[in-house]
């Protein structure tokens, strides 16, 4: 069965996730995380993709980016992924694949959904029980967005900058968003949309994306009535 074409539009934020093959680790040392981020910056610049938020987990990666063209996100992930696999295989004297097939992604509506994706990404280490506060995890964008740590990788989304005209006040407002866990229904919506390659947002947004692309961008009705989807199993350090 042919796979569905990825939904992508220029200028619309994308939430992306790429997992290690069979949920195995893809980062083994601090140098690995630093190398990945260095090349993420290089290929984001090359393909004119604005990176708003990220987290590098032990066995997967989350990114929130806005591509300038419809194919830019795919090119960024392809070239970054290939180069990082070559680095890992060379460094650790291994061979074969590292990633679990294609990366997953969804188009994300602005308004509340973009900032929710910021939080979803940067709270990942909390959900994985790796740290008690997002600032304790060194391989995410939280310290930049919430505490003003300097980074040449991130480009703030307009909804982030709209939190305040003053940098310190903006960071304070952003930290306030993390006082409480993300709503479980929002977490489920983000997971479903990203895993299924759908549009994340209101029904009006989904209809607009469907009209623009000329295809369905929401889950279809399938399976037996009343049958519930079983949750994915996750190991301790996987996050989601």
Walking along the chain (240 residues) 10 residues at a time, the average pLDDT comes out as 76 97 95 98 98 98 97 96 97 94 93 94 96 97 98 97 96 96 94 95 93 90 45 47
pLDDT at 239: 66
Domain-located, residue 179? yes
Q: Which pTM value belongs to this model?
A: 0.90
CA distance 145 to 164: 13
Instruction: List the end-to-end C-alpha distance of the chain, in Å, as a whole number.
Output: 27
Domain-located, residue 240? no
Give the CATH number of the domain where residue 64 resides: 3.30.70.1290
**CB distance 214 to 191 below 8 Å:** no
Domain tally for the chain? 1
Domain-located, residue 121? yes
Alpha carbon distances (Å) from 73 to 101, 105, 107, 135, 152: 16, 10, 11, 27, 19
The 8-class DSSP code of residue 147 comes to H
Domain-located, residue 221? no
Alpha carbon distances (Å) from 63 to 44, 69, 140, 197: 11, 17, 10, 15
Domain-located, residue 84? yes
Domain-located, residue 232? no
pLDDT at 238: 52
Domain-located, residue 96? yes
pLDDT at 2: 52
The 8-class DSSP code of residue 229 comes to P
The 8-class DSSP code of residue 140 comes to B
Secondary structure (3-state) at 43: helix
Domain-located, residue 195? yes
pLDDT at 220: 74
Q: Record the tokens describing residue 163, joined without a space.
A: 């939190």
Domain assignment of residue 106, given as a range: 14-213
Pairing, β 104-108 against β 199-200: parallel
pLDDT at 5: 78
pLDDT at 240: 75
């Amino acid at each position: 069965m042919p796979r569905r074409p990825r939904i992508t539009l220029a200028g619309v934020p994308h939430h992306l996730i790429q997992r290690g093959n069979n949920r195995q680790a893809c980062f083994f040392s601090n140098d690995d995380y630093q190398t990945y981020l260095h090349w993420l910056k290089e290929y984001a610049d090359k393909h004119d993709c604005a990176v708003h938020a990220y987290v590098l987990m032990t066995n997967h990666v989350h990114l929130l980016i806005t591509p300038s063209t419809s194919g830019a996100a795919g090119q960024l992930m392809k070239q970054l992924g290939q180069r990082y696999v070559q680095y890992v295989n060379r460094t650790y004297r291994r061979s074969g694949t590292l990633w679990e097939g294609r990366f997953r992604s969804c188009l994300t509506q602005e308004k509340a959904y973009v900032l929710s994706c910021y939080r979803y990404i940067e709270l990942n280490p909390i959900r994985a029980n790796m740290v008690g506060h997002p600032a304790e995890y060194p391989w995410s964008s939280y310290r930049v967005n919430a505490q003003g740590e300097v980074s040449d990788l991130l480009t703030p989304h307009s909804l982030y900058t709209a939190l305040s005209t003053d940098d310190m006040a903006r960071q304070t407002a952003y930290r306030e968003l993390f006082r409480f866990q993300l709503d479980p229904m929002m977490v489920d919506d983000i997971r479903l949309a990203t895993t299924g390659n759908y549009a994340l947002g209101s029904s009006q947004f989904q209809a607009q994306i469907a009209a623009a692309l000329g295809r369905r961008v929401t889950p279809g009705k399938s399976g037996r009535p009343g049958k519930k989807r079983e949750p994915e199993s996750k190991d301790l350090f996987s996050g989601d």
